[in-house]
Structure 1
């Protein structure tokens, strides 16, 4: 009995060690794939973000109509990419803390963009009288110190979620009563808020929830399926800087002209299609009328044939 017990115990140890070796081998493959993915998207994201920052700064100097919060949002995303690249070379707690700091800052800048759009629609008089470049810069400096308050990344990233939703709902209701805004301006404001909401819900929030689950139940990290889910949503979160750069399109002074151009192209295509269908219908009706006439007057057809002969 003792021999059997020892034999079964050694088999269990060997099976457990074999499973752990496979787990860590798969984990190393995931880490390598993550590093490769980060370098690929960094080659695409960094030039786009630098061009977006230059364009937004030039837009503020020329018209001062662009959002200062969008500039700081893209800047925080740029810090995230730099931290990700450094993490692929050497993983340390300082790099992770810097990445968490820039991630929390970017989420709060997204909330600032949503709140600014809400004030523009719901309280336009107060917004025009109190909004200035200096006030936006002061608020942005304050936001950069906000991540230092939170010791937990999950809590710090989850707090702006209700603010973004409330601003989106309030802005959508306010647009129905905003008489001074044109339809194109309404679409631009609502489109920028919708982009912020989608970016947060589908690119940031899932990873934040998984991070909170890991901190609450650390043993769940031994599940291979959970590790796959974490890396998948982490890959999605790495695409967040590209989505934030799209906010520049809603800040451009010719954004309304671009939307008008698309609308005119759609109307032109519809008009051409309807005109083409009307022409075909008229040709078919003329052909049907000619056939009816030829059937009703056979004598005329015979006379025509004789004359031709």
Structure 2
């Protein structure tokens, strides 16, 4: 992925029309990056402190969200450093943060999926110690991509490792979302507002992953995409935007005004499922009486 950044920061010194257009696009790219840096760094720090206040013995999801925000903070710091100096350490650290963020997105989706599909198991098995062990494993996994960079492994091999690492969670995200939607009616111990927040988080995670991470996978695997300068720049810019998008996780784990919005958006779906659940209960009760 090294060319991913170098090609976006290189400038053409020739004085023709194409160089003017290229410099204009690079200036636009730089402005957007500075906006992301200036907004992302303070908001991420505030979000980490706010989410940390939610971490209790019976709260696991905030632990994964905190680690996700820390990985985002690493990315933002690297992008900031790139504005002043570029070197291999910053580059490797940046993509280490990118891969770690993908791992914690999987953890968040899995944890929310278990709340709905396995509420009893989740209630008795969840604990902070287990979640911290999982976090350590997630922080170690990106080394599978980072370490080969120190041994000058072939470019195509490292890009394939990156693409596979980022692409593997896609079926998991889809499975967690579909499985949660199917199990909503049977999760009677989970309040309706909590169900709405869980579904919202799963949808947001899938959208962030699909819109912001998949373009970089295409860039890594498709040679034509690498040679297309517009796609090249947009794919890297989408990765830069992902830390800002991850801040929405904090919104959906807090009770508040967002519940009213989710209730209006998801009300029909939940009401239908509740009616089906009540009808099934009535049928089973009538059968038992007979």
- Please classify the TM superposition score into its range, dividing by the shorter chain length: 0.7 to 0.9
1:191 CA drift (Å): 0.5
Separation in structure 2 between the aligned mates of residue 105 and residue 125 of structure 1, nearest angstrom: 29
1:59 CA drift (Å): 1.4
Q: SS at 1:149's partner residue? A: helix
| Equivalent position to 1:91, from 79, 86, 94 | 86
| Equivalent position to 1:241, from 229, 240, 243 | 243
1:184 CA drift (Å): 1.4
| Equivalent position to 1:134, from 119, 129, 133 | 129
> Is 1:76 equivalent to 2:71 in the alignment?
yes
Q: SS at 2:222's partner residue? A: helix
Separation in structure 1 between the aligned mates of residue 49 and residue 86 of structure 2, nearest angstrom: 31
- 1:281-307, CA deviations, whole angstroms, 9 ceiling, x for partnerless residues? xxxxxxxxxxxxxxxxxxxxxxxxxxx
> Is 1:67 equivalent to 2:69 in the alignment?
no
- What is the TM-score normalised by the length of structure 1? 0.70
* Other-structure match for 2:176: 167
> Is 1:120 equivalent to 2:122 in the alignment?
no
Separation in structure 1 between the aligned mates of residue 18 and residue 261 of structure 2, nearest angstrom: 54
Report matched runs for 1:1-309 at 5 Å. 26-61=21-56, 64=59, 66-150=61-145, 151=158, 152-214=161-223, 221-222=226-227, 226-252=228-254, 254-255=255-256, 258-260=258-260
The unaligned stretches of length 5 or more in structure 2 are: 1-12, 146-157, 265-290
1:133 CA drift (Å): 0.9
Coordinate RMSD, CA, aligned: 2.8
Structure with higher Rg: it is 1
Q: SS at 1:169's partner residue? A: helix
Q: Is the 8 A contact 1:115 1:167 kept in 2?
A: yes
Q: SS at 2:141's partner residue? A: helix
Q: SS at 1:126's partner residue? A: helix
Q: Which has the higher contact order (CA 8 A, sep 6+)?
A: 2
Separation in structure 2 between the aligned mates of residue 43 and residue 115 of structure 1, nearest angstrom: 32
Q: SS at 2:67's partner residue? A: helix
